[in-house]
Structures are given as C-alpha cells and as structure tokens.
Amino acid sequence: MWLSPSQIQTNHKKKYDMLDILQPFDANATERSTKWINNDDLDVFVMYAIPINGTGGLTLQEGFPPLTRQLGCWDAEQGFLTDPGIGDIEVSQSFTALNGAHLLVAHLPWPPFIIFSGAGHTSANASGFLPDLLEILSVALNFTFEYVHPNDCEWGGMDDNGSWNGIVGMLQDGICQLAAAPLSITTERAKVIDFGNPFFLDELSLFGYDHKTINISGYLSIFHPILWVALGVLIAILASYFHGLSRFHLEEFHSVPHMFSLGNALGVVLICFLQRQYPKLQILTVYGRALYLTTCLSTFMFFVFFCAGLTSHMTVHTNGNQISSLDDILEQEMQMIILGTTSEAERLKHAQPGSTLQKIYEQTMVNRPGTQLKSIQEVHQLLESDPMNVYFGLKTSLHGLTGIKAHPLTKPFSVPFAFGFEKNSKLVRWFDYHMMKMSESGLIDSLLHKWWPKEHHLYDEEEVAELISLDFAHLVFPFGVLTLGALSSFFVIVIERKWGDPK
C-alpha cells in the first residue's frame, strides 16, 4: 500500500511536506524500512515502516541517532497520532485520501487506454490501462468517480471563437475535475489546464511515399560509385578469364565447334549477371560448366544484395520535400491518410509554412477535404491496391502493415500522455506522488505490458528505417564466392586436362 500524504510542522515551526519523505511500505513486511530526510535546521526524520495489525504503520522521529525522540506515529486507518508531551507539532490532513470525494472523470474511448463494453460509459463496463490506474488511485486516495463524455467527442482544441472544446473545455469550465484519456501535453493546453506526470510516451513523425517522380540516379546510388567501377572491371576480368580458359583446347575431352571468343565471353558474363538464360552456352564443356555455375551462384547473391538496396531506396529514400505545413501536402493534391493508431487520437494539426512539426501538432486542426482517418486494415488494402499514392501518417504505424518502412520527412518528436486536471488543482500533486510510486515499483510497466501484449505491438523500437547504401563491406561475401568459383574452375580444368580420359 502507499501512505496517504499529510503535512507536519515541527517545533521549529517549519513545515515538511510528507510527500517528500513518505515512502511505500508493505503491510505484511517483516523488516523495517528506513528513510532519512535532512533539512535546513539539521533536523533528521527517521521513518520506520512497521507492520501493525496487518494494516501498516509509521513512526516519525526527530534528531540524529542515537539522540532521537519520537514525535508520533502514522497509522493507515487513524492517520498521524502525536505522542504525549509533544505539543508543538501541528498535523494537517484536510486533503489526506480526498476524504471520499466524488470526481467526475472526462474520457473518450480509445483502446487500449480505455475500453467500454455494453451500453453506457460507466466504471462497471470500463476496462483498459487507464481504468486500472484509476481503480488503484481511487483506493490509495479514497475517492469515487464516474465517467463523463464530451458532447462534441473532441479531445480538446481551440475553436474559431477562441474557446476550448472537448475534454480540455470541460476541465476549463469546471464540468469535470479529471481527464483520464490519452491526452497529449501541449503548450497551448497547458495554459488553461494542468497536466500530471506523463504515463505514456509516444513518438510522432510525418512521412511520405512519392513514386510520382522517376529518379534514374536513384538506381545508381544504391552502390557506391567506386563499387560500380569495380563491378565493370570485374566483368571485364571474368570475360577475359573465361576466354582464356577456352584456349586450353580441350577438344579431346569435349567437342567444341568454335573457340569461346572474348566478345562471346563478355556477352555470357553480362547475361549471367542480368540473370538471363544464354541458349548457346554449352554447359557440357568444362569451361562452360565453370562459367555457368560460378556466374549464376555469384550473380544470385549479388542481386540479392542489390535488390535489398533497391527496395530500401524505393521505400526509405525521400523523393519528396520536407513538410513545413499540411498545406504543402494538400496543395500538391496528394492523397493524405492519417493512420488510426493511439497517437492519432489527437490528429495532426494545421500550421503556417515554416512551422516546426511540434507547432504543426499543437495548433488547431483545420478540417480539409480529403483528410481521412483510416484503420490499419484499410491502409493495408490501399497500399496493395494503389501503391503509387503518397501516404502520410505516423512513422510507428507502418511496421506490421506490409513490411514496408518509411523514411520520416521530419525528425520525430516525443508526445507525452498524462492525466488532465483543472487549473491549479490540488489533485495534481497527490496523483503525481502515487504515480511516481507506482512507476518506481514497476506497476505502470506491468499494466502497459498487460494491455499491450507483444503480438499486438505495432512496431519494434529497435527497428528503425535506414537508407541502405551498399559498399565493399556488404559485398565481400558474394565477391569472395565469385573469386573462389573462378579459381576452382581453373583447377578443375587443369586436373581434367592432366588426368582426364580423352573421349
């Protein structure tokens, strides 16, 4: 359990906030838990978390061991009790445990943060990450609550007349005392309401695919320029090498109607590199087998690397311009799709040209034709049906759709979600204290894992879209196999010429 916050004043008339010195303790603990607090008056408080009748308790002492005196004790049921003869201590518990207060909690259903099953938005049919948090907090702070729903179904933005709508407007007008929703913290909202410590941190970025322009140089940029030169030299060397093999005159072993000319060898090597069949290639000959097997094997591995780089450039490389405003998107008549994910509950906001992504997000959304809210399944179908469109949305939503990764057109930024409160509400400090304790104990992380099982994760934080530019280090293996194949074919010919049986 967690101790409810209190405030105590010592004989030095200096108030100490119990939020700064209390610590969670287990009512069934067998060992004492001690914490020291030093203050400007050199007073030292020693707290002992002691099991008392299964409910837990605390003794508060002043001084420095062994010269200490007990000021009183704190009981989970009766609160702080001063010892006899200690008359200079004042204890204020006016807001301790909220004294059974009833709170109106604004919400908007958004799985897995908050889910409602059945008719009505009541605590009885609510489930999810936030309802679990509220149940724990209501027990710790001794309050009851009921959910209220904004009539306009908005999260909270500024209307044209300057008033706030949605959940933020309800908090500003005093209609509710608490907002339990994935409400993102923005500077504009923080001017009219208070936020607690974030309970969830998401990452947001705009990205786009722009296949409407053809960039020929993009195919060349997959490999380093020096590597292309090396590839040309390699093809020339291979052609000369296999032309030289044909001059061993192995007619007594294999019937060869004509010499394998240098031009013919160059053509075969190029065709093999392009993975095309060469009908005149006589694979029954020794050098024919060596040529065919060596080039096919190395070509397969070489083009695996090339196709990987090509795919990377097609899906990751940015052909579009940096986004400074949603107008930049809409003026180009590109199809804009906002992916339906957790972060997208807030939508992307309209901003003036030149604004940063943070400003784009924080400013009020202007409804525009063609802006659509799409689910992951719908986006998947759209990608399959028309991959030539430009899609914009959240970077973290692409992984798991089709395996396609997108390069962000802007640098991502973190979007924190937190409880919302009325301005200057005393609830903020009590909630933050218990949220801090739940975070330290790992309870919040366990709730996140409960409602975000591994198979439902949309992305893996370790997987980041990167532009692949292949160089020599990436091609050591295929070039190595090619070299070994060429050398082995030479030894095969030498061995067959020396020890082979003529026809």
- Supply the pLDDT for residue 176: 96
Residue 428 corresponds to which amino acid? V
Structure tokens at 428: 């903020």
Least confidently predicted of 101-115, 251-265, 368-382? 368-382
Average of per-residue pLDDT across 242-251: 62
Q: Is the Cβ–Cβ distance between 56 and 26 less than 8 Å? A: yes
Cα–Cα dist 423/436, whole Å: 21
- What is the average pLDDT score of the chain? 59
Domains of the chain and CATH, by start: 7-94 (no CATH), 98-202+413-463 (3.40.190.10), 217-316+473-499 (no CATH)
- Supply the pLDDT for residue 154: 87
Cα–Cα dist 380/307, whole Å: 23
Model pTM score: 0.44
> CB 425: neighbour CB atoms within 10 A?
17
Per DSSP bridges, beta strands 44-50 and 57-64 are antiparallel
Least confidently predicted of 301-305, 433-437, 459-463? 459-463
Cα–Cα dist 291/213, whole Å: 39
Average of per-residue pLDDT across 22-41: 38
Question: Using 50, 70 and 90 to split pLDDT, how confident is the model at 134?
Answer: very high
Return left, alpha or beta for 258; rule: phi > 0 is left, psi -120 to 50 is alpha, else beta: beta
Question: Using 50, 70 and 90 to split pLDDT, how confident is the model at 259?
Answer: low
- Reported as a single tens digit per residue, the pLDDT across 47-89 is 433 333 344 455 665 544 444 556 666 655 566 666 665 554 4
Q: What percent of the chain is predicted at pLDDT more than 90?
A: 9
Per DSSP bridges, beta strands 7-9 and 15-17 are antiparallel
Decide: residue 302, CB within 10 A, 0-12 exposed, 13-18 middle, 19+ buried.
buried
Q: Which residues pair with 201 in a beta bridge?
A: 416
Residue 377 scores a pLDDT above 70:
no
- Supply the pLDDT for residue 443: 84
Question: Using 50, 70 and 90 to split pLDDT, how confident is the model at 432?
Answer: confident
Q: Residue written as tokens 């997959």?
A: 222
Quickly list DSSP for 68-112: EEEEEEEETTTEEEEPTT--S-EEE-TTGGGGGEEEEEE---BTT
Q: What percent of the chain is predicted at pLDDT more than 70?
A: 32
- Supply the pLDDT for residue 12: 35
Give CA angle at 431 (426, 434), nearest 5°: 140
Q: Residue written as tokens 């030093």?
A: 38
Residue 255 scores a pLDDT above 60:
no
DSSP single-letter state for residue 500: P
Return left, alpha or beta for 347; rule: phi > 0 is left, psi -120 to 50 is alpha, else beta: left
Average of per-residue pLDDT across 274-299: 57
DSSP single-letter state for residue 4: P
Average of per-residue pLDDT across 130-140: 87
